[in-house]
Structure 1
Amino acid sequence: MSLLFSPYAIGPLTLPNRIVIAPMCQYSADNGDASDWHMIHLGHMALSGAGLLILEATAVEDIGRISPGDLGLWSDANEAALGKVLKAIRKYSSMPIGIQLAHAGRKGSSHAPWEGGQLILASEGGWTPVAPSALPHLPHEAPPLALDDAGLQRVVKAFVDSAVRAHRLGLNLIELHAAHGYLLHQFLSPLSNTRTDAYGGSLENRLRFPLEVFDAVRAALPEGFPLGVRISGTDWVEGGWDIEQSVAFGQALKARGCSFVHLTSGGVSPLQKIPLEPNYQVPLADRMRKEVGLPTMAVGLITEAEQAEAILQDGQADMVALARGMLFDPRWPWHAAAKLNSQVEAPKQYWRSQPRGLSKLFGDITIGQR
């Protein structure tokens, strides 16, 4: 039996299979509000047959956006706009849906990738980003504003308020974004955190703020509600954040009731040297799963059904996440189920699409014709 298409429980939430659609920024919101693009894009993904859809990095405050087009959940308007999209999706899909709550930190106020991705100056309609330390992401950029105590408290409250909104919207799971060089990752990495107070220096101190955010969000949600963290397992820079520190972070999260970890890498430094190849991040998930014992998602150049199945069969992860692969092939789970002789959920409007010889792909169904 295929492990990829077997159910998996994250606390009280049971996924119908172990394929996760990882968060993918769309840069298509209006002042944080989900747009018609989100209705089309997310509706498309929700019909894919995956076991879980995690919405894109969603800003917890307006200056926490990567770009002016980032999705947000800091206001009543944001909540109402996303609620409209979710209501439409749930009418036609039973797929569990989670959300990734994020703060861009010093990587905020940037153009969308197709506009060059560079920093937007405040004089050009951008804003002054915030960070653990007044260190810019790129040497030629203006430095961000180092967060003081009041700023730290504001960010914690923003995460909590957004989490409460997410739960109120009926989302099934929350993932805190502590990866890819964004704010929580900036606190973790010694490359971006040079503070001399209780939030910088030693590993214990660098873990402190991300753990404070986790604790506050955990306390604001019902007991058992799935709350996990996305972690960059390594900065791919000598002297930066690495898998050993990630394991220590994972152990601290597990002690606090974390539900899962989602292993990725890089993003905090332009000096990173990433060895791009199939499964290049899977060893990070493997270490986390074996040394911490939390449910673990692996991601990164996983493109083939057999490849995903092998990761699970070898015990390197509990779930396999795809992002760019799902953009390229939004029916990837269907095709994977066909290759692995498994079944996948599909909307009845598409049942007639089953290729000849794969009549059980969508289960025991009957299709009449006139």
Structure 2
Amino acid sequence: MGRFRPIAHSAFLRHFVPNLNLHWISFFSGTPLLIPSTEIVSEDCKIYGIPLKNHLVFMLSSFKAIILPQPQIKPVQLVIAKDIFVSAIRIAMSIDGSCLPFGDVLRTSAQEQVDYMLSKDKDTLIVMADDEVKSVVRTGVYNTINSFEKDLASLLLVPSLELGTADNNDRIMRKLSDLEWMCNVLPKMDLMKNLVSDWAAISNQILRIVEDKKLDQVMWGLKIKLIEVTCKVLEAVGYGGVILPAACRVQLLKSWFPYIRKMKPLLDSKGTEENGFPYKMDQDLCQAIEGAIVSLVLTLPSNDQADILADWIRSREIGYPDLSEAFEVWCYRTKSAKRRLVEGLDGNSDAVISA
């Protein structure tokens, strides 16, 4: 029957079985022998909980079981779940600043707690509908992107990127890692649009900074992490997870497509020149970006598709990303539209002649 869910405490059991004295809780694997729920268990025994439709099956060490109704979610439970989730979000997104002296350790633990609650805790799914919870999450997303943009802009103000900026560089990388984590959890909250919209709004500013001459041969980790986060954003828009206006989709693609196309051969070249160069676009990342860009191109108005595909053809020797699939679909759609137009014009001409 597999692994059974452990019961967190004995209060619920004692509510239904007052005589039960629970000493400890564990897992159990085996085939349960179900007994009537009217049977009273009065001896000390080991208890194991298994979810079964609307009931919990409690396994006893004597290989018997008692079936009890699944408890209904009470308002007080939702309040507790909400408080825990909001607290975890505030720490995970550093909304109240760094939690000294624990700092990164506490933030990482809070992110893991949020991951767990979103995937395992049913109460959290209900809590996510709360406007206050959504507001806290939106605040965290905005603050993270805003502080990332400011820290990134400060790179151009220092005389040397290799001396005296370690703290700032680390802070920038932490913010990017936080944004990458948000890209994984926000879709579960139906709030990915906030991050995508904010990222699209600052994309040109980000690229203006990272393409500055001062960063030409430094901070490769920053550049590859930017591409990884952008991949998540492109996937969200390209595959329909986030719906943006056509103008915003065009701007997002026209901003990042040339940069990604430029960085791929540059990173490959660095990897060839330097043994052990860690900052590469691996096959999974390359395929993810290519698939997202192809899907995104096909969502654009036909004229914008033509502009992007024409630019791709002019630099086709680069080889990445390969937009052949998008080009073939665009050609087919264009021919079909032209054929329908001609047929429509012919039909109108025949109607005029017959009249």
For the criterion TM > 0.5, the same-fold answer is: no
Q: Which has the higher contact order (CA 8 A, sep 6+)?
A: 1
Larger Rg belongs to: 2
TM-score (norm 1): 0.28
Identify, as 1 or 2, the structure richer in strand.
1
Identify, as 1 or 2, the structure richer in helix.
2
